[in-house]
Amino acid sequence: MSDEILKHIRCKVGDIAPYVIIPGDPGRVKRIVDQMDDATLLAQNREYIVYTGTYKHVPVTVCSSGIGGPAASIAFEELIKLGAKVFIRVGSAGGRQKDTPIGTPVVINASYRGEGTSRAYLPAEFPAVADLDVTNALVQALKESGSDYQVGLGFTRDAYYVQDTQLNALLTDCGVKAAEQEAAVLFIVGSVRGVKTGAVVSTDSNIWLEQQPTLAQKEELFFSGERKCITAALEATVILHGAGAHDFQ
């Protein structure tokens, strides 16, 4: 397999670092790479843009996954085949608590499986849970940065423009903090394939806010939160590397 270029991410053995930051948005890849010390573009195919470089001497790959579980699972599987061991999703999400302002970094520690892709891997009753080491590293990085942040449950779903009002209310009452489209799939693939996973997202909206900002205000707030999430994810790789997560190499 050493010379095989994988079908979708268009990379081969040796291209991928053990630590992978995985945004959904291909445009976010460049914003992540801009915070790294160095990075080389390896491939660009469909929704998958792949760079590998370093951050504070830690080898890091950045790969976009597109929107939703099916496309994301393809990226996860191919990256794992090429040696990825630790995944940190950096994404966007809708806030689901009234005390979650737009632009808030939220570390998702587990997700309600409201999508379909993860059920191809494990029954619906199996929990989608992030790795504790990765979650703690993200929390530590945000705490040390002085940023306001939240930690809690996510809601991973498929149909972006369809809202189940009863389910939304139930999940909010039960403490769900953010709704997005990939975290549960990442956590389940991590459980099945034996890799470490975590997620930090910036809220770009909140259906429960009594006063809704304008689109321009939402975007300004979101991108401020996104920068904090990117920094936290990169710093988390350094924390994990220093704590011995690199022993798998």
- Per-residue confidence (pLDDT) for residue 246, from 0 to 100: 52
- Per-residue confidence (pLDDT) for residue 247, from 0 to 100: 58
Round to whole Å and give the CA distance between 88 and 60: 11
Is the model's pLDDT at 13 over the cut of 70?
Answer: yes
Once rounded to an integer, what is the mean pLDDT over residues 56-73? 98
The helix/strand/coil state of 155 is: strand
Domains of the chain: 19-243 (3.40.50.1580)
- Per-residue confidence (pLDDT) for residue 232, from 0 to 100: 98
* 204 tagged catalytic: yes
Once rounded to an integer, what is the mean pLDDT over residues 213-227? 97
Picking from 103-112, 122-131, 205-214, which range would have the lowest pLDDT averaged per residue?
205-214
- Per-residue confidence (pLDDT) for residue 77, from 0 to 100: 98
H or E, element range at 90: strand 86-95
Confidence tier at 2 by pLDDT (50, 70, 90): low
Set 3, 37, 204, 247: catalytic member: 204
- Per-residue confidence (pLDDT) for residue 244, from 0 to 100: 72
Is the model's pLDDT at 176 over the cut of 80?
Answer: yes
Is the model's pLDDT at 241 over the cut of 90?
Answer: yes
Look-up of token digits 């939703």: 68
CB 149 within 8 A of CB 106: yes
Among residues 188, 76, 217, 95, which one has the least CA distance to residue 149? 95
Amino acid at 223: F
Is the model's pLDDT at 129 over the cut of 70?
Answer: yes
Confidence tier at 243 by pLDDT (50, 70, 90): confident
Is the model's pLDDT at 3 over the cut of 70?
Answer: yes
C-alpha torsion 33→37→41→47, nearest 10: -20
Per-residue pLDDT tens digits for 136-164 = 999 999 999 999 999 999 999 999 999 99
